[in-house]
Amino acid sequence: MSRLDDELKRALRRAEAPPGFADHVLARVVRENRTRQAAISGWRQFFTRPILRLATAAALSTALVAGGAYYRHAQMEKAQRAEGEAAKQQLMLALRIASTKLHLARSKVNDVSDGNQNRHEKE
Protein backbone atom coordinates (compact mmCIF):
# COMPACT_ATOMS: atom_id res chain seq x y z
CA MET A 1 0.00 0.00 0.00
CA SER A 2 1.65 3.26 -1.11
CA ARG A 3 1.29 6.64 0.47
CA LEU A 4 -0.88 7.71 -2.42
CA ASP A 5 -3.34 4.95 -1.52
CA ASP A 6 -3.44 6.23 2.05
CA GLU A 7 -3.79 9.82 0.97
CA LEU A 8 -6.61 8.89 -1.40
CA LYS A 9 -8.43 6.99 1.34
CA ARG A 10 -8.09 9.97 3.62
CA ALA A 11 -9.14 12.43 0.94
CA LEU A 12 -12.10 10.32 -0.12
CA ARG A 13 -13.31 9.32 3.32
CA ARG A 14 -17.05 9.46 3.75
CA ALA A 15 -18.55 12.84 4.50
CA GLU A 16 -21.49 13.29 6.81
CA ALA A 17 -24.80 13.79 5.09
CA PRO A 18 -26.23 17.30 5.55
CA PRO A 19 -28.33 17.83 8.71
CA GLY A 20 -31.93 16.69 8.33
CA PHE A 21 -31.11 14.57 5.25
CA ALA A 22 -33.09 11.53 6.41
CA ASP A 23 -36.06 13.71 7.40
CA HIS A 24 -36.08 15.31 3.96
CA VAL A 25 -36.03 11.90 2.32
CA LEU A 26 -38.92 10.65 4.48
CA ALA A 27 -40.93 13.82 3.80
CA ARG A 28 -40.49 13.29 0.08
CA VAL A 29 -41.53 9.65 0.42
CA VAL A 30 -44.71 10.66 2.28
CA ARG A 31 -45.48 13.37 -0.30
CA GLU A 32 -45.00 11.01 -3.21
CA ASN A 33 -47.03 8.29 -1.50
CA ARG A 34 -49.97 10.66 -0.97
CA THR A 35 -49.97 11.73 -4.59
CA ARG A 36 -49.77 8.14 -5.78
CA GLN A 37 -52.44 6.93 -3.36
CA ALA A 38 -54.82 9.69 -4.44
CA ALA A 39 -54.41 8.73 -8.07
CA ILE A 40 -54.71 4.99 -7.38
CA SER A 41 -57.75 5.27 -5.10
CA GLY A 42 -59.56 7.41 -7.67
CA TRP A 43 -59.07 4.80 -10.36
CA ARG A 44 -59.78 1.93 -7.95
CA GLN A 45 -63.10 3.49 -6.90
CA PHE A 46 -64.01 3.99 -10.50
CA PHE A 47 -63.24 0.45 -11.57
CA THR A 48 -64.72 -1.30 -8.53
CA ARG A 49 -68.28 -0.30 -9.50
CA PRO A 50 -69.54 -3.14 -11.74
CA ILE A 51 -71.68 -1.09 -14.08
CA LEU A 52 -69.01 1.49 -14.54
CA ARG A 53 -66.47 -1.27 -15.03
CA LEU A 54 -68.58 -2.87 -17.76
CA ALA A 55 -69.33 0.46 -19.33
CA THR A 56 -65.67 1.39 -19.27
CA ALA A 57 -64.63 -1.92 -20.80
CA ALA A 58 -67.25 -1.54 -23.51
CA ALA A 59 -66.30 2.06 -24.17
CA LEU A 60 -62.62 1.20 -24.31
CA SER A 61 -63.22 -1.71 -26.68
CA THR A 62 -65.45 0.40 -28.90
CA ALA A 63 -62.96 3.23 -28.86
CA LEU A 64 -60.13 0.87 -29.75
CA VAL A 65 -62.03 -0.77 -32.61
CA ALA A 66 -63.42 2.51 -33.87
CA GLY A 67 -60.07 4.19 -33.48
CA GLY A 68 -58.33 1.44 -35.43
CA ALA A 69 -60.94 1.50 -38.18
CA TYR A 70 -60.90 5.28 -38.33
CA TYR A 71 -57.11 5.31 -38.50
CA ARG A 72 -57.07 2.77 -41.35
CA HIS A 73 -59.82 4.64 -43.16
CA ALA A 74 -58.04 7.97 -42.70
CA GLN A 75 -54.76 6.53 -43.96
CA MET A 76 -56.47 4.99 -46.99
CA GLU A 77 -58.34 8.19 -47.72
CA LYS A 78 -55.14 10.20 -47.42
CA ALA A 79 -53.33 7.91 -49.86
CA GLN A 80 -56.26 7.96 -52.28
CA ARG A 81 -56.49 11.73 -52.11
CA ALA A 82 -52.77 12.03 -52.87
CA GLU A 83 -53.14 9.71 -55.88
CA GLY A 84 -56.23 11.58 -57.04
CA GLU A 85 -54.50 14.94 -56.75
CA ALA A 86 -51.58 13.60 -58.77
CA ALA A 87 -53.98 12.31 -61.44
CA LYS A 88 -55.72 15.68 -61.52
CA GLN A 89 -52.41 17.47 -61.99
CA GLN A 90 -51.59 15.11 -64.87
CA LEU A 91 -54.95 15.77 -66.46
CA MET A 92 -54.58 19.54 -66.18
CA LEU A 93 -51.05 19.34 -67.57
CA ALA A 94 -52.26 17.27 -70.52
CA LEU A 95 -55.05 19.76 -71.22
CA ARG A 96 -52.67 22.71 -71.00
CA ILE A 97 -50.29 21.11 -73.48
CA ALA A 98 -53.17 20.20 -75.83
CA SER A 99 -54.49 23.73 -75.49
CA THR A 100 -51.10 25.31 -76.20
CA LYS A 101 -50.53 23.22 -79.30
CA LEU A 102 -54.02 23.90 -80.65
CA HIS A 103 -53.36 27.57 -80.16
CA LEU A 104 -50.09 27.19 -82.03
CA ALA A 105 -51.98 25.51 -84.88
CA ARG A 106 -54.50 28.33 -84.91
CA SER A 107 -51.88 31.06 -84.98
CA LYS A 108 -50.10 29.28 -87.85
CA VAL A 109 -53.36 29.08 -89.80
CA ASN A 110 -53.98 32.76 -89.15
CA ASP A 111 -50.46 33.63 -90.30
CA VAL A 112 -50.98 31.72 -93.56
CA SER A 113 -54.45 33.28 -94.06
CA ASP A 114 -53.13 36.79 -93.44
CA GLY A 115 -50.25 36.19 -95.87
CA ASN A 116 -52.59 34.95 -98.59
CA GLN A 117 -54.97 37.86 -98.06
CA ASN A 118 -52.13 40.38 -98.34
CA ARG A 119 -50.94 38.72 -101.56
CA HIS A 120 -54.44 38.87 -103.07
CA GLU A 121 -54.75 42.53 -102.13
CA LYS A 122 -51.43 43.34 -103.85
CA GLU A 123 -52.51 41.44 -106.96
State the nearest-atom distance from the C-beta of 118 to other proteins, in Å: 15
Residue with Cβ nearer other proteins (59 or 87): 87
Contact 48, 41 (CB under 8 A): no
Binding site for other proteins (CB under 8 A): 2-5, 7-18, 21-22, 24-26, 28-29, 32, 81, 84-85, 87-88, 90-106, 108-109, 111-112
Please give the C-alpha separations between residue 114 and each of 109, 121, 122, in angstroms, as whole numbers.
9, 11, 12
State the nearest-atom distance from the C-beta of 59 to other proteins, in Å: 32
Backbone angles phi, psi at 66, to 5 degrees: -65, -40
